[in-house]
Amino acid sequence: MSISIKLFGVLADVVGKSQIDIHDVNNTTTLKAKMLKDFPKLKNYQFVIAVSKQIAKENQALNAGDVVVLLPPFAGG
């Protein structure tokens, strides 16, 4: 199963792309672990995970076709 992930703000800079596909993850915990393994610098950044337009609850299951958004806080004004 492949999950499409949109990265906002500084996270896109860290990963080098604003959208990536991640394979073989079935919940948000494994997704986060895989992201941190593939992009270790992400661990320095705070972000929330939204699945299909909702902020994910603790370890939410992922289904094919889900759009996942990784959202960091911005402070610029």
Q: Does 36 bind other proteins (CB under 8 A)?
A: no
Which segment (7-15, 22-30, 32-40, 58-66) binds other proteins by CB under 8 A?
Answer: 7-15
* Closer residue to other proteins (CB): 39 or 45: 45
- From residue 35, alpha-carbon distances to 39, 75, 77 in Å are 6, 24, 29
Contacts of 47 (CB under 8 A, 6+ apart): 11, 70, 71, 72
CB of 1 to other proteins, least distance (A): 22
Angle subtended at Cα 12 by Cα 7 and Cα 13, rounded to the nearest 5 degrees: 165
* List of residues contacting other proteins (CB under 8 A): 6, 8-10, 18, 44-46, 48, 50, 53-55, 69, 71-77
